[in-house]
Chain A
Amino acid sequence: MKQPLLALCVAVAAPLGGASAHHSFASEFDANKPVSLQGTVTKVELINPHSWIHIEVTADDGTKAVWEVEGGTPNTLFRKGINESTLPVGTVVAVDGYRARDGSNRMSGRDITLADGRKVFLSGSAPR
């Protein structure tokens, strides 16, 4: 008789190596400083240990500022067919995340979405 394993519930756990990412984001970003921005992509750095997507944000008064959005390792994306041309310069993206503790124009990319709400690298040729 099959024993239901339904109660083998699992909590999200940090992976076995002891590091859930290159480093804990809590040490770099501030939970008290959530940021939501919209802007155009000016540069995509598919580098390690973290990718960086640069976006230019235009304030209501017309002033422009460049923000750097921190993502994950690009190697996972490469294996899904994504490359440095996948997210073209000029694409409008919305970013939802947390500001860097050091006060710079850097933020975690907790959610990076296109204008139609799709997550950035899950569009186009990338498999879902």
Chain B
Amino acid sequence: MMRGACAVAALALVAACAPTAAPPAAGTASAPVFARTPDGKPDLNGIWQALVPANYDLEPHEARPAPLDELGALGAEPPHLGVVEGGEIPYFAEARERQRRNYENRFELDPERKCFMPGVPRATYLPQPFQIFQSGDHVMIAYQFANAVRQIHMQDPGPAPTSFWMGWSVGRWEGDTLVVEVTKQKADTWLDRAGNFHSEELRVEERYTPMGPNHLLYEATLEDPKVFSRPWKISFPLYRRLEANVELLEFKCVPFSEEILYGHLRKGYRGREAE
């Protein structure tokens, strides 16, 4: 009918003018356009980066001062409405208490400060780019921060022999979405700088869905029966880095962290005790 056709045409116009809108269902006239690999899957190859300042705090937050007064506005944290669907992370009461304690001591405790690998999903929204390499069943993601990298096993790799900082990732396609199940992450990683945390029981389901040639919709559902009273979800776009010749450079931050980790054991050290 005419009305239906107009509605579809209107949708197409809206989609063209608002590229950051959530992608309509595949198969409609306004489905996003993006490249595909020879095996018909969306081509996710490239350098991507999140723009949301979720690494400061996943939950809604006002602007905050820097953890160190001397940094002034240099280390101050920008505000954000948050990326958690529903607003707050559904902690158990005791877990929320622990998150608050983490927050109060975040400068000392944050593993990012020590240049420890960030785990998933934090690696996705660190303010540094990452690169997806996708070639049939060979899928890996390289992160600029600390040279972190993980393999997405597209064929069953069997159980993980132990837990890992970047977890154990098993991937599959659901239509045009790459779904990655991440388990066996060490409990030592944080979800952001605000002390949001998890246990070794954490399971993350990531979804990467093209929104267009230069945008991916990233969704992650987190489940941890020891810490959260129910699963909860974050989502935001990932933006393709479009500068000519952009590449990941070396951010091997170990030297930046050696003073805070080992300084108290230096020859001739005279000062406060180790953290």
Contact = CB atoms under 8 A, between A and B. Distances in A.
B205 to A, nearest CB: 23
User: Chain B's interface: helix, strand, loop or mixed, by majority?
Assistant: loop
A77 B162 CA distance: 11
Contacts of A82: 161
Contacts of A77: 161
A105 interface: no
B274 to A, nearest CB: 13
Interface in A69-99: 74, 77-78, 82-84
Contacts of B163: 84
Interface in B152-169: 159-163
A46 interface: yes
A83 B184 CA distance: 13
Interface residues of B, number: 5
Contacts of B161: 46, 74, 77-78, 82-84
A107 B159 CA distance: 31
A45 B63 CA distance: 40
A83 B161 CA distance: 4
A11 B189 CA distance: 44
A39 B159 CA distance: 30
Contacts of A83: 159-162
Interface string B128-169: 000000000000000000000000000000011111000000
Interface string A39-50: 000000011000
Nearest to B163: A84
Interface in A35-77: 46-47, 74, 77
A82 B159 CA distance: 11
A63 B271 CA distance: 34
A77 B161 CA distance: 9
A85 to B, nearest CB: 9
Contacts of A74: 161-162
Contacts of A84: 161-163
Nearest to A83: B161
Interface string A4-39: 000000000000000000000000000000000000
16 contacts: A46-B161, A46-B162, A47-B162, A74-B161, A74-B162, A77-B161, A78-B161, A78-B162, A82-B161, A83-B159, A83-B160, A83-B161, A83-B162, A84-B161, A84-B162, A84-B163
Interface of A: 46-47, 74, 77-78, 82-84
Given A77-B161, A82-B161, A83-B161, 13 more contacts: A46-B161, A46-B162, A47-B162, A74-B161, A74-B162, A78-B161, A78-B162, A83-B159, A83-B160, A83-B162, A84-B161, A84-B162, A84-B163
